[in-house]
Amino acid sequence: MTIFPLPAFNDNYIWIIQDKDSSGIWAVDPGKADVVLNYCREYKKTLTGILITHHHKDHTGGVAELKQHSNCPVHGPEHLTELVTHPVDDNDQVQIFSKIFTVIATPGHTLDHLCYFSKQETPILFSGDTLFKGGCGRIMEGTPEQMLTAMTKISDLPDDTLIYGTHEYTLANYRFALSVEPNNKDLIESNNTCKKLRAEEKPTLPTKLSLEKKTNPFLRSHIEAIKVQAAQQLNEIPAENSIAAFSQVRRAKDSFS
């Protein structure tokens, strides 16, 4: 099984899941139908399934048209009744080719956000807009407590998990990460690597959870130096509990320029 991105809009990735023994493919968060349809036509593939992580249009905008073309199953949040044929929620399972993916509910960015995790062979997480390389999604519907819970759930996965987020935000995320942890050698090294990748118009994703634990401020909001720097950017006193500390880091990123 191989996974690769089809770019869409300005910075979205539609992840394509393909198996060498099948002419079918799955698409994760297909915000634009023509991107997937053009790939299928060019490579003589058939869309056989769709995963949706949350309801935002840049993740769901192409689903209706794709269903008309392929009549494939669509797995996603249960309230998306016009799009989803197979509603799923926390701990449900989806089979994609030979792999079983477990649904992880991660409200925070949106209340309906789901991630999809497979621990078979190389662990894989489709993280949608919950976790990015060097960052996390804005808290648009949920609460800091919910988003911190989502970060904790992801942190508890195996360190070698490959994380497939759906936006190419890495360099912007790293600019903020470096502002709160400027002497982090792993962060500096990854930033330099990703600058080279983007200069060559290559994706910086997927990332590995072990790297995120070393570099991502939203998995490191418990670290004193990060808490102090985030609070200083907000002209606040450093938070004393984990939820408030995470909220400060998120708000510092929201106001970062």
d(CA 238, CA 225): 10
CA distance 89 to 92: 6
Q: CA–CA distance from 217 to each of 63, 115, 231, 250 (Å)?
A: 33, 20, 13, 9
Q: Give counts: helices (H), strands (E), the chain.
A: 9, 14
Tokens of 164: 């497939």
| Residues known to be catalytic | 54, 56, 58-59, 109, 129, 167
- How large is the angle between the packed helices 224-233 and 170-180, nearest 10 degrees? 100
Instruction: Tell me whether the omega of the peptide bond preceding residue 77 falls within 30 degrees of 0, making it cis.
Output: no
Q: How far apart are CA 56 and CA 8, in angstroms?
A: 14
- At residue 84, φ and ψ (nearest 5 deg) are -85, 125
Which residue type is seen at 240?
E
The count of other CB atoms within 10 Å of the CB of residue 159 is 12
Can you name the residues that pair with 95 across neighbouring β-strands? 100
Element (H, E) at 117: strand 114-118
